[in-house]
Amino acid sequence: MNNVNLSNVSRRRFIAAAGFGAATAVFAPHLLFAQESGIVPTMINEAARAKIEVHPLRRNISVLEGSGGNIAVLTGKSGKLLIDSGFTVSRARIAAALDDLSSDPVVRLINTHWHIDHTDGNAWVHSAGATITAHENTKKRLSTTTRVEGWSYTFPPAPAGAIPTTVFDEEHHVHHNDTRIALRYYGPAHTDSDISVLFEEADIIHVGDTWWNGFYPFIDYSTGGSIDGMIRATGRNLTVVTDKTIVLPGHGPVGNKAGTTWPS
């Protein structure tokens, strides 16, 4: 995947791949027409067909791949904590994957940023019993009509149950299932709502859409993203991770500081 030469593929085709989690998807013939049929509906259709893959990482933390952005899951006696909620169309398969991990109920959800491929499932995860924590701009974007020019799509306000109820500005700490979790705002990067989520003991960090493993990221200029912000975020990611850190990208396979897949 890292060897794919993307230099002569148009930016719009990168955008068309947003949410599929695989650079090879860029070249799948039926996806080359994603922009004609609408990027957001295409992402949702893709999620509706996708299998949910579960990969154990370290300690009691796993990743679910296949529905929008990568979903991290912390299990334990206090209930499951999720990072991001994927697309609603994947609800049955995500719920089944969560049940396979453990019988603990879902009690907490953290959003890495406001985009639909990371928050569409918020409402059902909340109805299942989870409180939602995010950066204050995630709440702001989900609470109102928001257009993403890069996707030619205008999102209506999210339902009340999908809106984060705990928000923060720069930094927030959570202690859950004997695990310390540090949430830190990037400043404007991929959007103006991006945070990193670090599981301290396990040394696993979810960097949201500030990193797409194996292919060029989408930058959402409509809601505060910029190339300079993405470079700053990447610089911070490289500073805070070590060679041992497991790095969860927003899209693409689980990786590490070298930018390769984990385990390598």
Q: Where are the alpha helices (DSSP H) in 108-182?
A: 116-119, 122-127, 136-142
Q: How far is the CB of 217 from Zn ion (least distance, A)?
A: 8
| Position 209 contacts Zn ion (CB under 5 A) | yes
Select from 7-15, 112-120, 157-165, 170-178 the region that touches Zn ion (CB under 5 A). Answer: 112-120
Which is nearer to Zn ion, 207 or 241 (by Cβ)? 207
Q: Does 84 bind Zn ion (CB under 5 A)?
A: no
Residue 141 as a binder of Zn ion (CB under 5 A): the answer is: no
Among 65, 117, 120, 192, binds Zn ion (CB under 5 A): 117
**How far is Cα 106 from Cα 98, in angstroms, rounded to an integer?**
9
What whole-number distance in Å separates Cα of residue 221 and Cα of residue 213? Answer: 20
Residue placing its CB nearer to Zn ion in the complex, 107 or 225? 225
Min. distance of Cβ 228 from Zn ion in angstroms? 17
Cα dihedral across residues 69, 70, 71, 72: positive or negative: negative
Q: Sign of the CA dihedral 76, 80, 86, 92?
A: positive
Under 8 Å between Cβ of 32 and 9: no
Nearest to 205 by CA among 162, 176, 229, 239: 239
69 or 229, CB closer to Zn ion? 69
Q: Identify residues 30-69 at the interface with Zn ion (CB under 5 A).
A: 69
Output b/e per residue, 161-200; b: 16+ Cβ within 10 A: ebbbeebbeeebebebbebebbbbbbebbbbbbbbbbbbe
Task: Kindly determine how many residues on this chain lie close enough to bind Zn ion according to the rule CB under 5 A.
Answer: 5
Q: How far is the CB of 225 from Zn ion (least distance, A)?
A: 8
Contact between 115 and Zn ion (CB under 5 A)? Answer: yes
Stretch that binds Zn ion, among 79-87, 90-98, 109-117, 141-149 (CB under 5 A): 109-117
C-beta closer to Zn ion: residue 120 or 209: 209
- By CB under 5 A, what part of segment 213-252 binds Zn ion? 250
Name the residue among 234, 212, 230, 232 with its Cα closest to residue 220: 230
* 75 vs 250 by CB, closer to Zn ion: 250
Minimal distance, residue 78 CB to Zn ion, in Å: 28
Buried b (16+ CB within 10 A) or exposed e, 127-137: ebebebbbbeb
Tally of CB atoms within 10 A around 256 = 18
- CB nearer to Zn ion: pick between 104 and 139: 139
Q: Which is nearer to Zn ion, 104 or 120 (CB)?
A: 120
Residues that bind Zn ion (CB under 5 A): 69, 115, 117, 209, 250
